[in-house]
Chain A
Amino acid sequence: MSKVVFCEDDPMIRKLVQTALRSTTHDVHIAEDGKQGLALIEQVRPDVVFSDVAMPEMDGFEMADAMRARSDLAHIPIVFMTASVQREQIDECFRHGASGHLAKPFTMAELRARVAQFSKN
């Protein structure tokens, strides 16, 4: 069973993710912003992190940078979920060490496939 941390400030999307992954075997943890997310990651040590970019307190990129600065968290892959499909913004995600990108709005199949891709076994 793989552990997944989601960081998303929009309550509706949080609920959607939770609902969509309920039927899977993944251990899903959800944070409301980057700050909460970082604390959760430290605690859970997930196999993969899915994160929004625009969030209050600490945004997704700042959270990613903070993780890269920590030797014990640096190896955890991050997938950014952005509403933008602009080339530059997707490039920026990868500059911040993203392992993947998920464009909003996404389908449930897409979401599950992405989660499965980064899960163990």
Chain B
Amino acid sequence: MRKLPRSLRLYVAASTLYAALIFIAVQFIYTIELAQSGIFIARRDNGDLLSSIQLVSFIVWLGISLIAAVVMFRLATALAGAQSAEAEAKTSEEQKDQELGAIFGLSSALAGPLSLEQIGAFFVAAVRAALPPHTTIALIVYDDVLEAFRTVAADGPHADELKDRSYSAVALPSIVRIRVIDHRQSLVIPDTSAEKAMWTKVSEEMPAVAGAGSFAALPLVSRERLVGALLLLGERAGDLTPDKAQMPVIMGQYVAGSIHSALAVNEAEARAERETLVNRIAQRARGTLDPDEILRATVDELAKVLGVTRAVVATGDSEAKLEVIYEWTADGEPSVGLGPRDLPVSRLAARLGRTLFVTDIRVDRRFSDPKTAAALAPLGVIAIAATPIRIGGRFAASLALVHTDRPREWTADDARLIDSVAQELRGAIAAAEAFEQQRQAVAELERLSRAKSDFVSIVSHEFRTPLTGIQGFSEMMQSEDLTIDEMREYAGDINKDAHRLNRMITEMLDLDKMESGHMEIHREAVDLNVIVTEAAESMRPNAPRHPVSLRLDPLVGEVSADRDKLTQVMANLLSNAVKYSPEGGEVVVSTRLEGNTAHVVVRDHGMGIPKAALETIFERYGRVESLATRHIRGTGLGLPIVRQIVQLHGGAVWVESTVGEGSVFHVTLPRGATVRPEVAEAAS
């Protein structure tokens, strides 16, 4: 018999005592009443009545006691039943406490800031305790940076197949994607062999789970956001049921929040890193105006942050002519090399005018034609992102980021990053280009200014020589006793030097006039050969030590030209030829007819002209300043005047030269009366 509570025992004892007292009291009252009534007489017949009353009383007491005992038994039984139910209830509560404890333990373990991997490890360990052994547990979370799910923790027999994997949303089995990811409902398949059709499809889409006897995929949702999913693979059918999945679901609710925070931290860090990169690039770009430096800095940083193996910058006026100007490689070894290259992806990106992303070029149909494939093969490209850089609306350059090691699914974040870097690059390159133009303009101005001061120095030098004569002779005429003949002679010298000075001034003014288009030319029919002969004749007395020979073609005949100007041209060319030739150096002048063009060639055997100066000698102030020409007198205006005059006649003048061997000056003149419109205008 079970133990009765003390109160119950007390109650039974009290009621028995009470029943006994009632019995005695009743007997006593009866006895007195009977005695008083006179009935109780010591008679034998009275004794029967008394004993019958006593018997009735005893039976009543017995009945009451019996009823009490039954009641008590019933009560005790009921009580005992109640007690055992209570105990039972207590056991299940303890278990629940334990599970709750696990969850609380989990949630307290998750209280601190943790990495996704740490969270995953806690979570998987906690879930493991609630599930049959040999269940594979994998936590996949949605990585916003990757824009894909990736396994952060896995445990169990199939864990290896699930670890370190990432799945873009489309790579997950469609039923998981639709049910779990899109609709955020749990998917539990207690027996995969009972769902053959469905399981075959799931196995195809995600071979890692194929061997499971039962399967569950549980969404992890935090603050309305799906942060990941828990994949459970039971060894046998029935290892996972909706009931058994309850615990992981509850735990998942706790873990989801932590995953959410960890993801947010990761994303914030990734964003911050990328923003920092863009800022850093912008800063470096603003810190320098050297386009090469901007290029290097920007491309290096971007390539490192994106983790690509190669970055290539190619410039070109059009997409068809790309020239690699900078290359970064992860190992520092050049691979594409600088110079013109065929870059099919950059070319297509340039043509489309937008960034082009290729996950795996080996299976990309856009680049599968044999010609493109042949161009791509030596480059070793697998994944590539190529973006065109346009400046002022025209294509200027192309930036390509390449994986030669693996395919890559470029994310929207990558695209944003590449785009913002390209923006920086564009701005910086445009600014640097503008600066470069400015710099060149300034350098040109400086060059002109220097040339001008050189010119002033040359001219003042040339002016001072006749001035020395004028000043010296006039001083002597003034202060010394001279005969009238001496006076006359010196006056003549002064006059000669004055003329010389005047000629120089006229030359300068002529050039100015011609350059500003105010020079008039008076055309007439002029025999070119005659002009050349006259110029050579007048040169000879001044250059007795330089043989001048003429090879004239009589067919050249007459040209329509200004006689005086043409004479000046020939005189200048001849005097130059003599001036720059050593003594005895032969000067040859030849004429010939080429179609309707007269061609004059003046060949000397002088010092020659350096290549860099072949054009500048025709510019005003352009005389080649060197040791070799220091002893040459002249304002340096001769050739600029020649060019101006020839151009006014619609002709051309140029020079060919070999340093140390001599120079050949060419003059062409149209024979007809063709006058350039602006010249006609100037002449009118």
Contact = CB atoms under 8 A, between A and B. Distances in A.
A59 B630 CA distance: 8
Interface stretch (A40-48, A69-77, A100-108, A113-121): A100-108
Contact of B631 (A13, A58, A106, A111): A58
Given A12-B493, A13-B468, A105-B467, A84 B632 contact: no
A53 B467 CA distance: 17
Given A84-B461, A106-B468, A16 B631 contact: no
B471 interface: yes
B476 interface: yes
A59 to B, nearest CB: 4
Interface residues of B, number: 28
Given A54-B630, A56-B632, A58-B631, A16 B469 contact: yes
Nearest to A16: B472
Interface string B474-501: 0110011000000000100100110000
Given A12-B469, A13-B469, A105 B631 contact: no
B465 A13 contact: yes
A19 interface: yes
Contacts of A66: none
B670 interface: no
A83 B465 contact: yes
A104 B476 CA distance: 16
Interface string B424-466: 0000000000000000000000000000000001001111111
Contact of A108 (B464, B472, B631): B472
Interface string A1-20: 00000000110110110011
Contact of B464 (A12, A83, A111): A83
B633 interface: yes
Contacts of B462: 83
A15 B497 CA distance: 12
A36 to B, nearest CB: 12
B473 interface: yes
Q: B-side binding surface: helix, strand, loop or mixed? A: helix
A108 B472 CA distance: 6
Nearest to A19: B476
Interface string A29-41: 0000110000000
A55 interface: yes
Interface of A: 9-10, 12-13, 15-16, 19-20, 23, 33-34, 53-59, 61, 82-84, 86, 104-108, 111
A56 B465 contact: no
B533 to A, nearest CB: 26
Given A12-B496, A19-B476, A83-B460, A104 B465 contact: yes
Contacts of A111: 472
Given A83-B461, A83-B465, A105-B471, A54 B632 contact: yes
A13 B500 CA distance: 13
Given A54-B633, A59-B631, A105-B472, A15 B493 contact: yes
B471 A107 contact: yes
Given A54-B630, A54-B631, A54-B632, 4 more contacts: A12-B493, A33-B631, A84-B457, A107-B472
Contacts of A33: 631
Contacts of A34: 631
Contacts of A61: 630
B460 A12 contact: no
Contacts of B470: 105
A112 to B, nearest CB: 11
B475 A107 contact: yes
B468 A104 contact: yes
A21 B252 CA distance: 118
Contacts of B480: 23
Contacts of B468: 10, 12-13, 16, 83, 104-106
A20 B476 contact: yes
B124 to A, nearest CB: 85
Contacts of A83: 460-465, 468
B630 A104 contact: no
A110 B470 CA distance: 15
A102 to B, nearest CB: 10
Nearest to A13: B468
Interface in B217-276: none
Contacts of B463: 83
B476 A12 contact: no
B464 A105 contact: yes
A49 B479 CA distance: 26
A12 B462 CA distance: 13
B423 to A, nearest CB: 50
A33 B583 CA distance: 13
A35 to B, nearest CB: 10
B368 to A, nearest CB: 69
A108 B473 CA distance: 9
Interface centre among B457, B463, B468, B470 (most CB of A within 10 A): B468
A81 B683 CA distance: 45
B385 to A, nearest CB: 58
29 contacts: A9-B633, A10-B465, A12-B465, A12-B466, A12-B496, A12-B497, A13-B465, A13-B468, A13-B469, A13-B472, A15-B469, A16-B472, A19-B473, A20-B472, A33-B631, A34-B631, A53-B630, A54-B632, A57-B631, A61-B630, A83-B460, A83-B461, A83-B462, A83-B463, A83-B465, A84-B457, A107-B472, A108-B475, A111-B472
A10 B464 CA distance: 12
A15 B462 CA distance: 18
A59 B632 CA distance: 9
Contacts of B473: 16, 19
A56 B464 contact: no
A9 B631 CA distance: 10
